[in-house]
Amino acid sequence: MRDILAAEVKRLANTVIWSWEGFRAAWATEKTLRQWTVANALAAVLAFSLDLAAAERGLVLALGLLILAAELINTAVEEVVDHLSPGLDPRAKKAKDCGSACVALTAIAAGVAWVVVLVG
């Protein structure tokens, strides 16, 4: 049982390390990730400054994190597409455009949540 627990702790530690390495790599090269991170920090300050219900605050904070997740997915898609298809290819363009649309829709969802929370 101790061996199983030790293996799971090591697996979890590796997951944290690899996730952090991925975020750092994207941070170093992706201006949009840095911009969304700043926007999320500002949104978090606003969320804690306003008199919001816990559920409202949780919603807008969680959607902000989902924007960052979508941006990381978009970065991963772009990296793989650029590696596998360095030339112009309509499928490569479609994959990259869909990744971008993922970020845009997530940002729109966060914006809608903010509007509903602030107006409602």
Determine the number of helices (DSSP H) and then strands (DSSP E) in the chain.
4, 0
Residue 21 marked ligand-binding: no
Mean pLDDT of all residues in the chain?
Answer: 96
Burial class (CB in 10 A: 0-12, 13-18, 19+), 18: exposed
- CA-CA distance, 45 to 49, in Å (whole number)? 6
User: Does 91 show up as a binding residue in the annotation?
Assistant: no
Which pLDDT score, from 0 to 100, does residue 120 have? 81
| Residue 5, in any domain of the structure | no
26 labelled binding-site residue: yes
Domain limits at 93?
32-119
CA distance 44 to 110: 12
User: Does 74 map to a domain?
Assistant: yes
pLDDT digits (tens, 9 = 90+) for 8-44: 999 999 999 999 999 999 999 999 999 999 999 999 9
48: in domain? yes
pLDDT tens digits for 49-94? 999 999 999 999 999 999 999 999 999 999 999 999 989 999 999 9
**3-state DSSP helix/strand/coil % of the chain, to nearest 5:** 90, 0, 10
Task: Tell me, yes or no, whether 24 lies in a domain.
Answer: no
Q: How far is CA 111 from the centre of its chain?
A: 15
- Burial class of residue 113 in the structure, from the number of CB atoms within 10 Å of its CB (0-12 exposed, 13-18 middle, 19+ buried): middle
The domain tally of the chain equals 1
Q: Which of 21, 56, 71, 79 is catalytic?
A: 71
Instruction: Look at residue 23 and tell me if it is in a domain.
Output: no
68 belongs to a structural domain: yes
CATH number at residue 38: 1.10.287.3610
Report the C-alpha gap between 30 and 82 in whole angstroms.
15
Q: Residue 50 domain-assigned? A: yes
pTM of the model: 0.90
Establish whether 21 is a catalytic residue. Answer: no
